């Protein structure tokens, strides 16, 4: 069957061959339970059954894209969520060119996906509906090389579905996959390279992966420049966990800088916004671009200055680098304004969560009515639940997590106590009384959670849950990158409003998108394209740290602390 005959005549699932999905409701009880279980299983068993070790035996070269005088490629991450946001970005990337900020930017001949290609968890059906279907519809036939690394959600099934989708030579419309493993290295024009790592749920790279990149690095020459793709922005967490950036820094020093090459640009997703940190008195750029389709993440909580790496006990010789925040998308002011939308969007979009809070509130209220003993027990349970809910996302729990969690639990207990006083005012308490009470306590409890999330978010606690509960599908982004004789130029492209209305395009050309927006999408440059080159001499080659010296340094720190 030819491609022309496959063009859908309308937007029915039968014509599209997939079912467009709504955004994931992250605070619905079903999603909370399912995601928590999958996350826990992935963390527990991932170290024992590491799919990287299984697929690491496959032969994989360094893929050569160095033949062109000028190479354009796109970078996108965190994509496989609701159709409107995911397809809006896929559609923009598939067009022959984009005109933004007075620049004409041609379509990339290569697409790099930076992690979390599907939500809420790695599953073959979710890949089909949330990623493969939209991307095939956006680009049915234009040839583009596709490479991907997994994020934590791709890892939830142990990389099984990810491996089938990206490491077996499959096509997605015009996108063609080549990689055999969950990581890869690319040779780009003009002595540029791209190394993409897979390092989820662990503190090290598996041996097969380490060997692969060391062999790839043998092709590097002094003065070569490497774009490094990683799955998480670990530079954001060094203030609380000085070791968070050590793995990346160790890789740069021992694998890349040891060959006289440099890393002027590091790309990541994981946080669903755009953030650009530029090195102070240096040339390195740290760019987070996780705006491919998932719910928006806040930017108003981002630090203005960071240090990565930081010297730590295991890495006393790490050369500290200072970075300053150059740009965010959305702006910090816009992000903060979104935060207060939680009170309307949380109950409206997560009705199952309201039902859950109704049940919790009713049980707590009845326990209070039963007497002092059950009152104390219910309060203890709510405080424990509040503390469990107050987690850092990344890094370790601090005192503020316990304090905020306990306050939240006490507030929920106080709400139930107030409800018990209200019920006592009724002349005749019957089952209808509790039935009428359910929606009241459910909505009040949900609003209380919203208030807690607003406050906690400002203090660096539950940073994801606030925006996950709102499911904002706007403020999406991706990167279009040019490699030429002048180096690498990064064009961050933002989309203030994702498409909501779509139409089939049955009469389009073979390479035209199957689905087109009814209302034109209006992409723009988040900031002017910036150069990520390294005109200075190659970075100083730092000696690999001697294990004996590292052990002595650790012992010295322990003794000094006694």
| pLDDT tens digits for range 475-485 | 999 999 999 99
Distances in Å between the Cα of 361 and the Cα atoms of 31, 351, 448 are 20, 15, 11
> Using only C-alpha atoms, what is the Rg of the chain?
25
Asked if residue 273 lies in contact with residue 330, where contact means CB atoms within 8 angstroms, the answer is yes
Report domain extents, the chain: 29-330+475-552, 341-469
- Of 82-86, 312-316, 529-533, give the lowest mean pLDDT range: 312-316
Residue found by looking up tokens 């062109």 in the block: 68
Predicted pLDDT of residue 202: 53
How far apart, in whole angstroms, are the C-alpha atoms of residue 171 and residue 515? 19
pLDDT level of residue 550 (50, 70, 90 thresholds): very low
pLDDT of residue 537: 39
**Average pLDDT rounded to a whole number, residues 418-427:** 87
Query: In this predicted structure, which of 249-253, 272-276, 326-330 has the lowest mean pLDDT?
Result: 249-253
Q: Which of 268-277, 410-419, 452-461 has the lowest mean pLDDT?
A: 452-461
At what angle are helices 431-458 and 351-370 packed, to 10 degrees? 110
Residue 409's pLDDT band (cuts 50, 70, 90): very high
Strand order in the sheet with 63-64: 63-64, 184-188, 192-196, 225-229, 262-268, 285-289, 274-279, 322-329, 305-307
Ramachandran region, residue 560 (left: φ > 0; alpha: ψ -120 to 50; beta: rest): alpha
**Over 50: is that where the pLDDT of 536 sits?**
no
Taking 80 as the threshold, does the pLDDT of residue 226 lie above it? Answer: yes
Contacts of 277 (CB under 8 A, 6+ apart): 235, 285, 286, 287, 306, 323, 324, 325, 326
Q: What percent of the chain has pLDDT over 90?
A: 66
Band of residue 71 on the pLDDT scale cut at 50, 70, 90: very high
Strands (DSSP E) found in 290-425: 305-307, 322-329
Question: Three-state SS string across 280-306, please?
Answer: CCCCCEEEEECCCCCCCCCCCCCCCEE
Residue-level pLDDT at 495: 98
Burial string for 338-360 (b: 16+ CB within 10 Å, else e) reads bbeebeebbbebbeebbbbbbeb
What fold, for 29-330+475-552?
Purple Acid Phosphatase; chain A, domain 2 (3.60.21)
Q: Which residue has the tokens 């690498």?
A: 488
- Which two three-digit tokens encode residue 99? 């005109």
What whole-number distance in Å separates Cα of residue 441 and Cα of residue 418? 10
Q: Which two tokens stand for residue 215?
A: 């062999």
Helix (H) or strand (E) holding 278: strand 274-279
Q: Determine the Cα–Cα distance for residues 554 and 357; give it in Å rounded to an integer.
A: 48
Instruction: Kindly report, residue by residue over 72-122, the tens digit of the pLDDT.
Output: 999 999 998 999 999 999 999 999 999 999 999 999 999 999 999 999 877
- Respond yes or no on whether the N-terminal peptide bond of residue 217 is cis (omega within 30° of 0): no
Between 119 and 558, residue with greater pLDDT: 119
Predicted local confidence at residue 42, as pLDDT: 55
Is a pLDDT exceeding 90 seen at residue 206?
no
Give the least confident one: 193-197, 200-204, 229-233. Answer: 200-204
Range with the lowest mean pLDDT among 187-201, 264-278, 503-517, 543-557?
A: 543-557
184/189 Cα distance (integer angstroms): 17
CA dist 319 and 515 (Å) reads: 50
Q: What is the 3-state composition of the chain as percent helix, strand, coil, each rounded to the nearest 5?
A: 40, 20, 40
Is the predicted pLDDT of residue 46 greater than 60, yes or no? no
**pTM to 2 decimals?**
0.88
For residues 191 and 223, is the Cβ–Cβ distance under 8 A?
yes
Which of the four pLDDT bands, split at 50, 70 and 90, describes residue 40? low
Mean pLDDT value across residues 48-69: 80
493 contacts 480 by C-beta, under 8 angstroms: yes
For residue 532, what are its two tokens?
Answer: 């990520």
pLDDT tops 90 at residue 393: no
Cα distances from 42 to residues 47, 158, 197, 199, 232, in angstroms, run 8, 7, 18, 13, 17
Q: What is the pLDDT of residue 288?
A: 97
What pLDDT band is residue 50 in, cutting at 50, 70 and 90?
Answer: low
Mean pLDDT, the chain, whole residue set: 87
Residue 546 is predicted with a pLDDT of: 46
Distance CA 123, CA 126 (A): 5
Reply yes or no on whether the pLDDT at 511 is more than 60: yes
Token pair, residue 501, equals 């209305």
What's the mean pLDDT in 312-335?
88
């Amino acid at each position: 069957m030819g491609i022309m005959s496959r063009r859908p005549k309308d937007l029915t699932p039968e014509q599209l061959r997939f079912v467009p999905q709504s955004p994931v409701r992250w605070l619905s009880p079903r999603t909370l339970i399912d995601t928590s279980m999958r996350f826990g299983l992935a963390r527990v068993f991932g170290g024992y059954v590491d799919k990287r070790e299984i697929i690491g035996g496959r032969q994989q070269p360094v893929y050569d894209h160095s033949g062109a005088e000028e190479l354009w490629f796109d970078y996108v991450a965190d994509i496989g969520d609701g159709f409107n946001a995911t397809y809006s970005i896929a559609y923009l990337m598939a067009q022959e060119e984009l005109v933004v900020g007075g620049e004409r930017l041609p379509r990339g001949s290569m697409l790099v996906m930076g992690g979390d290609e599907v939500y809420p968890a790695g599953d073959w059906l979710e890949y089909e509906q949330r990623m493969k279907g939209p991307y095939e519809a956006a680009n049915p036939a234009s040839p583009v090389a596709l490479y991907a690394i997994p994020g934590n959600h791709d890892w939830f099934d142990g990389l099984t579905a990810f491996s089938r989708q990206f490491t077996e030579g499959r096509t997605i419309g015009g996108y063609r996959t080549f990689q055999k493993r969950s990581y890869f290295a690319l040779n780009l024009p003009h002595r540029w390279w791209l190394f993409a790592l897979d390092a989820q749920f662990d503190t090290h790279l598996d041996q097969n992966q380490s060997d692969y990149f060391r062999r790839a690095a043998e092709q590097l020459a002094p003065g070569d420049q490497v774009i490094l793709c990683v799955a998480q922005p670990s530079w954001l967490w060094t203030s609380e966990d000085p070791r968070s950036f050590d793995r990346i820094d160790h890789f740069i020093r021992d694998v890349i800088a040891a060959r006289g090459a440099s890393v002027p640009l590091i790309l990541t997703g994981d946080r669903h916004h755009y953030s650009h940190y530029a090195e102070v008195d240096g040339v390195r750029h740290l760019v987070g671009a996780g705006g491919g389709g998932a719910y928006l993440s806040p930017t108003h909580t981002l630090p203005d200055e960071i240090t990565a790496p930081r010297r730590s006990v295991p890495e006393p010789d790490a050369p500290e680098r200072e970075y300053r925040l150059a740009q965010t998308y959305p702006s910090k002011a816009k992000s903060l304004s979104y935060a207060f939308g939680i009170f309307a969007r949380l109950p409206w979009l997560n009705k199952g969560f309201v039902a859950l809070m109704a049940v919790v509130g009713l049980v707590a209220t009845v326990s209070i009515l039963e007497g002092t003993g059950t009152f104390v027990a219910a309060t203890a349970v709510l405080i424990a639940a509040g503390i469990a809910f107050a987690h850092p996302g990344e890094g370790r729990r601090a005192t503020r997590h316990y304090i905020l969690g306990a306050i939240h639990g006490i507030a929920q207990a106080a709400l139930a106590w107030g409800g018990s006083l209200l019920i006592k005012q009724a002349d005749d308490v019957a089952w209808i009384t509790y039935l009428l009470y359910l929606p009241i306590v459910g909505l009040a409890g949900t609003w209380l959670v919203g208030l807690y999330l607003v406050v906690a978010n400002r203090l660096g606690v539950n940073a994801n849950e606030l925006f996950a509960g709102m499911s904002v599908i706007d403020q999406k982004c991706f990167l279009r990158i040019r490699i030429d004789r002048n180096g690498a130029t990064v064009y961050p492209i933002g989309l203030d409003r994702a498409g909501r209305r779509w139409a089939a395009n049955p009469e389009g050309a073979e390479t035209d998108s199957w689905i087109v927006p009814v209302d034109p999408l209006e992409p723009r440059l988040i900031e002017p394209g910036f150069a990520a080159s390294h005109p200075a001499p190659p970075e100083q080659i730092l000696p690999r740290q001697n294990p004996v010296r590292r052990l002595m340094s650790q012992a010295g720190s322990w003794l000094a602390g006694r």
